[in-house]
Chain A
């Protein structure tokens, strides 16, 4: 793995494709985060809310996306992590996580980040500013 500080505009971080979203993923996230909104875990509640089925917590996907940067914590840290929730994530969706350098400045690397579903639709989109030591 090459140093993050050496990345240039247009370079990407190693993308990650997640296993199909499972109910257990969302139950685990509910427990770990304390977000027990039932539209994420109980079919009837999701349907009552007008959804075709349970949907992933937006914060679950945002949490997953940050792992692209985890291998680089010895070089710096995520200073700003900004995300817009663009689309819903359903059970069995296959989510891919991507980051591309948009700006490189002294001590500060800005990335465009996104999470896409199997239809190549953005479900999350935003920016990460990684500050290097």
Chain B
């Protein structure tokens, strides 16, 4: 049901890697390491500033894909991949967008599953790609039927 959405994307949205957001996030995953949260440690590091944990892009706004109406409930996160060219730096702006990469349907034990692959990207102010984030979302038959109803 999402086949026609393949290739559709959102517009770029500017996000800032905010110091407070990074601290809160690092704390929430039990990883308040000085490289993430201590300004002096960041300055003394090879990065010259603090960096963000690798799963931090979860907090970014990737904009909306027009016409892709995903339900707010019942989606299953199947797989997640991050690919980095370098770590995210605290204080920098990252421009993010997302695209529907793939959609397939597969017969499973509990009916037909929809497998939706979304790809988010983030580039810095120079236009250099910093990360790609691929997310595989499983849409069960029950959830899909609910959407059609």
Q: Which residues of chain B (62-114) have a CB below 8 Å from chain A? A: 72-74, 76-87
Among A18, A34, A62, A74, the residue within 8 A (CB) of B55 is: A62
Interface residue B145 (Cβ < 8 Å from any Cβ of A):
no
The dominant DSSP class at the B interface is: mixed
Contacting B at CB under 8 A, from A1-54, are 18, 25, 28-29, 31-35, 37, 39, 49
How far does the alpha carbon of A28 sit from the alpha carbon of B78 in the complex, in Å? 22
A61 → chain B closest CB, angstroms = 9
Further 10 A-B residue pairs, CB within 8 A, beyond A58-B80, A73-B87, A85-B80: A28-B28, A32-B25, A32-B28, A34-B59, A62-B55, A63-B31, A63-B53, A70-B31, A77-B84, A80-B81
Q: Are B81 and A81 in contact (CB under 8 A)?
A: yes
Please give the residue numbers on chain B whose beta carbons come within 8 Å of chain A beta carbons, in ascending order.
21, 24-25, 27-31, 33, 35-36, 45-47, 51, 53-55, 58-59, 72-74, 76-87
B33 nearest CB neighbor, chain A only: A70
12 contacts between A and B (CB under 8 A): A33-B58, A59-B77, A59-B80, A60-B28, A60-B29, A63-B28, A63-B55, A67-B29, A77-B84, A79-B84, A84-B78, A133-B46
A residues in contact with B80, CB < 8 Å? 58-59, 62, 82-83, 85
Closest to A60 in B: B29
B87 touches A77 (CB 8 A): yes
A78 near B82: Cβ-Cβ < 8 Å: yes
Specify which of B27, B73, B77, B86 is in contact with A32 (CB 8 Å cutoff): B27
Contacts of A59 in B (CB 8 A): 55, 58, 77, 80
The answer to whether A66 and B29 touch across the interface, beta carbons within 8 angstroms, is yes
Known: A73-B45, A79-B84, A83-B80. A66 touches B25 (CB 8 A): no
Q: Is A71 an interface residue (CB 8 A)?
A: yes
